Amino acid sequence: MRFWGWGEDGHDAPLPEAAEDLLERELDVPPGPRREPVALGDIDLPESRLDAEDLASVAESFSVRTDREARVLHAAGKAYPDLVRMRSGDLASAPDAVLSTTSSEGVKDALAWCSSRGVACVPFGGGTSVVGGVEPLRGSFSSVVSLDLRGLNRLVGVDERSLTVEAESGLLLPELEQQLGARGLTLGHFPQSYEYATIGGCVAARSACQASTGYGRIDELVLGLKMASPSGDVDLAAMPASAAGPDLRELVVGSEGAFGVITSSLLRVRPRPQETRYEGFAFGSFGEGAEALRILEQAGAAPDVARLSDEDETRMSFAMAGGGAKARAAGLYLRARGVAGGCLAICGWEGDPESVARRRGRTIALLKANGGVALGQAPGRAWVKGRYHGPYLRDELLARGVFVETLETATQWSGLFTLYNAVGRALRDALGQCVVMCHISHLYPSGASLYFTFLARARDGEELDQWRAAKHAASEAILASGGTITHHHAVGKDHAEYLPREAGERGIAALRAVKAELDPAGIMNPGKVLQL
């Protein structure tokens, strides 16, 4: 990936003309010149603090790089503040070295090496964290390394009878899906970061994906795992279920490298769907649509993908799409049905044709009974086509001087709109002129997740302050409204200061006790999940 943004060169996402107009009209962003990121060679990279001779004598099971490219590429994840810093060439946080390995023995040797020298160690998978999860913080140590796990990428085994697979952590999601596909299987885990995320990163970050309403979150798919910690191995065999005490799997899933390095996971898989069908539905309002989705989910009739955009997100996505003849036709159709200015929902079903037909029938009957107007497959296909497009678009917006960020939370159905309104208000107060959009991204029997996207004109040179103000305002609103500080982006560095409010002082103390036991020197990913 490009160090300053998403994807590789040649995968750019130029803004449509309609979007240009919209940015000027709604955010007062002039159509001025692009701000290009600094070139790799021009970056002023701090010297590595590690001793070159010492690095030359490491174990054979892992290797070390201290070159510019390796250090820059491991200096940050893909959060907005990361991109701002990387684009401007601020590499103060670059790791002193990048270790890499192709084996779990190599991971253990690397941790032993870090332990013996007092070097902080940041596990690095796909590097797609949007919450500062891979930022090479030193903690109380003078040096820090990034431990690249991409070489740890074997599909260890497939149990077709139990429908489980064991995968090493560095396996990219597309690589995993390709190997599973050859056997007619799928994990069904498709986060927006799909193209660059590793399976170990998903497990470490407790991720949910776009289809998790149907396939389940990663924490529901992990049945067993292996973690190398500085004090030894945690090896939890796969169990379909157990009453054998507290569930240690759930202590490792979501630990974000703060306890150790997850080296492999044993995961539930499913038969690869023979059919996928995505359709659009319109509702008169976000409230009406949310109520329909609640009824759907609580009746056990939810599709595999269920998303509902609020009025602003619906309006913006139509506008960004360019407002062509088709969109105008859709608009006329909706107005005729009394849902002008309404909200767009996308529903997707995956499986064998019988299953898709049966479940789709139930979904649609309930949606229609609760105010939904069917828009056919075109909006569904458009969503599928653009499902991984967001991060590319973000790069383009940054180049245009736009502040753009996302965040997500979840809460009970009964408090969903209190939370929705509070976060929207907080962001508008913090940002001034801005666009705040939201969609319901995942359904649960007891509640749903809300995914916010917000844009404003970037405050030149003060982007990080602007970001902090917005992030803080939104996080306070979430906590005050009883939501979780993150539904699928993890804690990382950015949410660590808010986690104590959610987990409580004793909850944090319990996590710190586990960390002290597994990572006594505190070398593992300092400042992530748990504050420094």
**Site for a second copy, residues 341 to 370, rule: CB under 8 A:** 355
Residue 315 Cβ, how far from a second copy at the closest point, in Å? 27
Place of tokens 């986060």: 191
Tokens of 107: 């991971």
Span 269-288, contacts to a second copy by CB under 8 A: 270
The 8-class DSSP code of residue 50 comes to S
CA atoms of 403 and 223, how far apart (whole Å): 40
Radius of gyration in angstroms for the set of CA atoms belonging to the chain, rounded to a whole number: 23
**φ/ψ of residue 276, rounded to 5:** -130, 135
Nearer to a second copy by Cβ, of 243 and 325: the residue is 243
CA atoms of 492 and 358, how far apart (whole Å): 41
Residue 339 Cβ, how far from a second copy at the closest point, in Å? 24
Q: How many residues bind a second copy (CB under 8 A)?
A: 86
Nearer to a second copy by Cβ, of 172 and 529: the residue is 529
Nearer to a second copy by Cβ, of 32 and 240: the residue is 240
Nearer to a second copy by Cβ, of 369 and 513: the residue is 513
Span 493-522, contacts to a second copy by CB under 8 A: 495, 499, 502-507, 509-514, 516-518
Site mask for a second copy (CB under 8 A), range 420-459, x = bound:
----------------------x-xxxxxx----------
Count other Cβ atoms within 10 Å, centred on residue 185: 20
Nearest to 216 by CA among 294, 131, 349, 305: 305
Residue 259 Cβ, how far from a second copy at the closest point, in Å? 8
Nearer to a second copy by Cβ, of 236 and 470: the residue is 236
Nearer to a second copy by Cβ, of 230 and 380: the residue is 230
What value, to the nearest 5°, has the Cα angle with vertex 241 and ends 240 and 247?
120
Residue 447 Cβ, how far from a second copy at the closest point, in Å? 3
What value, to the nearest 5°, has the Cα angle with vertex 111 and ends 228 and 4?
100
Site mask for a second copy (CB under 8 A), range 363-402, x = bound:
----------------------------------------
Residue from 412, 434, 469, 476 binding a second copy (CB under 8 A): 412
Span 107-136, contacts to a second copy by CB under 8 A: none
Residue from 95, 132, 254, 526 binding a second copy (CB under 8 A): 254
* 462 neighbors 456 (Cβ within 8 angstroms): no
Span 290-329, contacts to a second copy by CB under 8 A: 294, 298, 300
Nearer to a second copy by Cβ, of 188 and 380: the residue is 188
What value, to the nearest 5°, has the Cα angle with vertex 37 and ends 429 and 434?
15
User: Would you list the DSSP string of 223-278?
Assistant: EEEEEEETTEEEEE---S---SSS-THHHHTT-TTSS-EEEEEEEE-EEPPSEEEE
Span 132-171, contacts to a second copy by CB under 8 A: 159, 161-164
Nearer to a second copy by Cβ, of 63 and 231: the residue is 231
Site mask for a second copy (CB under 8 A), range 218-247, x = bound:
-x---x-----x-xxxxxxxxxxxxxxxxx
Residues paired with residue 278 on neighbouring β-strands, in sequence order: 348
Nearer to a second copy by Cβ, of 330 and 529: the residue is 529
Residue 459 Cβ, how far from a second copy at the closest point, in Å? 29
Q: What b/e string do you get for 159-173 counting C-beta neighbours within 10 Å, with b at 16 or more?
A: eeeeebbbbbbbbbb
| Residue 175 makes contact with a second copy by CB under 8 A | no
CA atoms of 417 and 26, how far apart (whole Å): 25
Nearer to a second copy by Cβ, of 121 and 316: the residue is 121
Residue from 274, 414, 421, 433 binding a second copy (CB under 8 A): 414
Span 465-494, contacts to a second copy by CB under 8 A: 482-491
What value, to the nearest 5°, has the Cα angle with vertex 312 and ends 496 and 297?
70
* 216 neighbors 147 (Cβ within 8 angstroms): no
